[in-house]
Amino acid sequence: MSLKEMVVLWQAGVENAEAGRFEEAVDNFTEIPEPSARIFFNIASAFLRQGNLEDAERNLDLCVKRDPHMALGYFQRGCLCLQKQR
């Protein structure tokens, strides 16, 4: 997949998420090969907006595994743990 195709998918995912079409956003983001930490974070955010805490947590774990310095991923994962009462 070319860089242009990946950017087009990312942009479509962002636009779908902003419009409240979270399933479509997840579909767009998951089509991107070898996703970055930011893409995993975007997927997790879409799952959170859908109330899908398990898939959100799994993607936040992938986010911080891909980039251990992404503080926002840890913060959101902590908020999710509080929401799940852990």
**CB-facing half-sphere around the CA of 11: CA atoms within 13 A:** 6
Tens-digit pLDDT profile for residues 21-46: 999 999 999 999 999 999 999 999 99
Of 1-5, 14-18, 22-26, the range with the lowest mean pLDDT is 1-5
22's CB contacts (< 8 A; 6+ apart) are: 16, 46, 47, 49, 50
Cα–Cα distance measured from residue 22 to residue 3, given in angstroms and rounded to the nearest whole number: 23
3-83 has CATH 1.25.40.10 classification: yes
The reported pLDDT for the residue numbered 86 is 63
pTM: 0.90
Q: How confident is the model at residue 53 (pLDDT cuts 50, 70, 90)?
A: very high
